[in-house]
């Protein structure tokens, strides 16, 4: 084992826990003094002030903050954040000094003392290390602890010059005013939206070149970005005016983030252009509103309505009133079997064979739909539709083959209808 290692080991054995004591005391209130205002203020908003000392040794209050820091007084209840830990320290020409923790001796309100334990360490340690290091390792052991008396004396002097009641009254008023400014600005933004919406209807115009739009698009002013969030009070200040200035800066930033905008209805079923929907307003801006103009070119896909039907004395086949279902009804007193059904639209037709649908006397069946025919969607949907395109006649109808179960022959029924325009329908 090298000499330095032996030296360090012996030093640790001699000290055996003499580097730092972690004995902590709960920070206490200032001792009772009738001349000091000892009331508790604004307990839900903790406020701390640093205690500083200048080069001349005079103590003064430094920065204020809502954030707990070291070496500070909590102004709400006069508790403090100074360390009350007791440290055992050593000073001298020892390499082992690099591992000791005596920084607190340089902090405010610390005092040194040498007790019986320190004297023992001085004698024993210096005998050992003096012999090993030929005097180079001689050290002095002492203890540092919180100086409550000095703390009370100096802070009492500071508090005699400080009006806590006035400080918290002013602070509480400013905090309330900060909140009120944000709330008032948000209320003004909402009121502005109401004023704009009251007049926006007269500013919307529609040019419908398709001739198929049967409504006025919805256009309204909405709250795009409310004035939300809170002031970030994670900052310090030395003068109250600094606190006011930073509060105002953040309030202005939050208010400037509040915004109204126009929300224009999307006409996804139409080919169109719209202008004027990019308008925005902030709290400070006026309530002027420019025109919003829709120009409709065509319906992207327009499906016109057909209601084919065929009826004879035995069977009725027709489209349902509110759906694309095909309603079959047996009008006879006998069983009927529907063998095939054909759909006609314009000059085209499509047949579904081998249906084998049997209806009892006076029975009904509605499980077939027009969508079962590919022809239905192919021929009733018009792309880029305009009114002029749809102003032409269309012919449609059903043909069917069925048989009465008590007869061997097959009956045929066929009927076409003509509509003089295809305007009755819906844009998809």
Q: What are 12-48's pLDDT values in tens digits?
A: 433 443 344 444 444 555 656 677 887 888 888 999 9
- State whether 206 and 110 are in the same domain: no
- State whether 264 and 155 are in the same domain: no
pLDDT tens across 331-362, in order? 999 999 999 999 999 999 999 999 999 999 99
pLDDT tens across 100-134, in order? 446 555 679 988 876 655 455 545 555 544 454 54
Specify the pLDDT at position 189. Answer: 95
Specify the pLDDT at position 407. Answer: 81
Is-contact 339 356, C-beta < 8 A? yes
pLDDT tens across 258-275, in order? 999 999 999 999 999 999
CB-side exposure of 276: number of CA atoms within 13 Å? 19
- C-alpha–C-alpha distance, residues 254 and 246, integer Å: 12
Q: How confident is the model at residue 80 (pLDDT cuts 50, 70, 90)?
A: very high
Q: In what order do the strands lie in the sheet with 315-319?
A: 309-311, 315-319, 325-330, 364-369
Specify the pLDDT at position 292. Answer: 98
Identify the H or E element spanning 335: none
pLDDT tens across 373-392, in order? 999 999 999 999 999 999 99
Structural domain ending residue among the three candidates 271, 302, 333: 302
pLDDT at 135 over 80: no
- C-alpha–C-alpha distance, residues 41 and 162, integer Å: 14
Is-contact 317 359, C-beta < 8 A? no
Q: How confident is the model at residue 1 (pLDDT cuts 50, 70, 90)?
A: very low
Mean pLDDT for 202-219 is 96
Q: Name the domain count of the chain.
A: 3
Q: In what order do the strands lie in the sheet with 139-146?
A: 87-92, 139-146, 110-113
- State whether 23 and 157 are in the same domain: yes
Structural domain ending residue among the three candidates 302, 334, 353: 302
User: Nearest-5° angle of CA 220, CA 223, CA 227?
Assistant: 160
Q: What's the mean pLDDT when you consider all of the chain?
A: 86
- State whether 264 and 344 are in the same domain: no
Specify the pLDDT at position 2. Answer: 46
Specify the pLDDT at position 230. Answer: 87
Specify the pLDDT at position 357. Answer: 97
How many angstroms separate the Cα of 287 from the Cα of each of 161, 190, 199, 274, 347?
52, 12, 10, 21, 59
> Is 143 or 141 the better-scoring residue by pLDDT?
143
Specify the pLDDT at position 15. Answer: 41
- State whether 377 and 392 are in the same domain: yes
pLDDT at 158 over 90: yes
Mean pLDDT for 300-310 is 97
Specify the pLDDT at position 303. Answer: 96
Instruction: Report the CATH number that the domain containing residue 374 is assigned in CATH.
Output: 2.60.40
Contacts of 165 (CB under 8 A, 6+ apart): 37, 39, 41
- State whether 273 and 309 are in the same domain: no
Task: Phi first, then psi: give them for residue 300, nearest 5 degrees.
Answer: -60, -55
- State whether 314 and 395 are in the same domain: yes
| Span of 3-17, 72-86, 136-150, 238-252 with lowest mean pLDDT | 3-17
Specify the pLDDT at position 405. Answer: 87
> Is 90 or 395 the better-scoring residue by pLDDT?
395
- pTM of the full structure: 0.69
Domain that holds residue 85: 3-162
Q: How confident is the model at residue 139 (pLDDT cuts 50, 70, 90)?
A: low
Is-contact 228 259, C-beta < 8 A? no
Mean pLDDT for 90-106 is 53
> Is 208 or 34 the better-scoring residue by pLDDT?
208
Instruction: Give 104's DSSP letter.
Output: G
> Is 79 or 89 the better-scoring residue by pLDDT?
79
Specify the pLDDT at position 91. Answer: 65
Query: Could you please report the per-residue DSSP string of 46-95?
Result: --EEEEEE-TTS-EEEEEEESS--SSEEETTTTEE------EEEEEES-G
- State whether 147 and 178 are in the same domain: no
- State whether 282 and 419 are in the same domain: no
Q: How confident is the model at residue 11 (pLDDT cuts 50, 70, 90)?
A: very low
The helix-helix angle for 3-15 and 116-132 (nearest 10°) equals 170
> Is 32 or 407 the better-scoring residue by pLDDT?
407
Structural domain ending residue among the three candidates 258, 280, 302: 302
- State whether 329 and 349 are in the same domain: yes
- State whether 275 and 330 are in the same domain: no
Q: How confident is the model at residue 5 (pLDDT cuts 50, 70, 90)?
A: very low
pLDDT at 143 over 90: no
- State whether 225 and 128 are in the same domain: no
């Amino acid at each position: 084992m090298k000499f330095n290692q032996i030296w360090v080991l012996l030093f640790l054995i001699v000290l055996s826990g003499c580097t730092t004591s972690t004995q902590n005391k709960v920070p206490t209130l200032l001792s009772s003094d009738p001349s000091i205002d000892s009331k508790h203020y604004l307990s839900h908003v903790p406020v701390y002030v640093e205690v500083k000392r200048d080069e001349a040794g005079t103590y003064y209050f430094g920065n204020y903050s809502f954030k707990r820091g070291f070496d500070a007084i909590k102004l709400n209840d006069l508790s403090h954040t100074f360390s009350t830990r007791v440290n055992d320290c050593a000073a001298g020409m020892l390499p082992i000094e690099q591992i000791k923790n005596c920084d607190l001796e340089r902090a405010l309100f610390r005092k040194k003392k040498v007790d019986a334990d320190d004297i023992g360490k001085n004698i024993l340690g210096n005998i050992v290390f003096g012999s090993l290091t030929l005097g180079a390792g001689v050290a002095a052991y002492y203890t540092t602890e919180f100086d409550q008396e000095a703390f009370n004396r100096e802070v009492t002097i500071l508090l005699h010059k400080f009006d806590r009641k006035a400080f918290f009254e002013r602070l509480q008023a400013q905090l309330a005013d900060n909140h009120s400014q944000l709330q008032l600005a948000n209320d003004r933004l909402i009121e502005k939206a109401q004023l704009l919406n009251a007049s926006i209807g007269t500013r919307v115009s529609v040019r419908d070149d398709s001739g198929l739009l049967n409504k006025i698009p919805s256009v309204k002013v909405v709250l795009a970005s409310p004035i939300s969030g809170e002031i970030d009070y994670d900052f310090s200040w030395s003068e109250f005016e600094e606190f006011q200035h930073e509060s105002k800066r953040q309030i202005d930033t939050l208010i400037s983030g509040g915004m109204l905008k126009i929300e224009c209805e999307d006409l996804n079923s139409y080919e169109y252009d719209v202008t004027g929907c990019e308008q925005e307003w902030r709290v400070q801006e006026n309530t002027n509103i420019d025109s919003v103009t829709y120009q409709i070119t065509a319906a992207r896909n327009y499906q016109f309505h057909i209601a084919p039907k065929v009826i004879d004395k035995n069977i009725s086949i027709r489209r349902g009133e509110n759906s694309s279902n095909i309603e079959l009804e047996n009008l006879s007193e006998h069983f009927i079997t529907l063998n095939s059904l054909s759909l006609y639209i314009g000059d085209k037709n499509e047949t579904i064979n081998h249906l084998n649908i049997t209806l009892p006397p006076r029975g009904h069946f509605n499980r077939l739909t027009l969508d079962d025919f590919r022809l239905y969607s192919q021929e009733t949907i018009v792309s880029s539709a305009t009114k002029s395109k749809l102003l032409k006649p269309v012919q449609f109808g059903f043909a069917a083959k069925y048989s009465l179960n008590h007869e061997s022959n097959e009956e045929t029924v066929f009927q076409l209808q003509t509509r003089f325009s295809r305007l009755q329908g819906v844009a998809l």
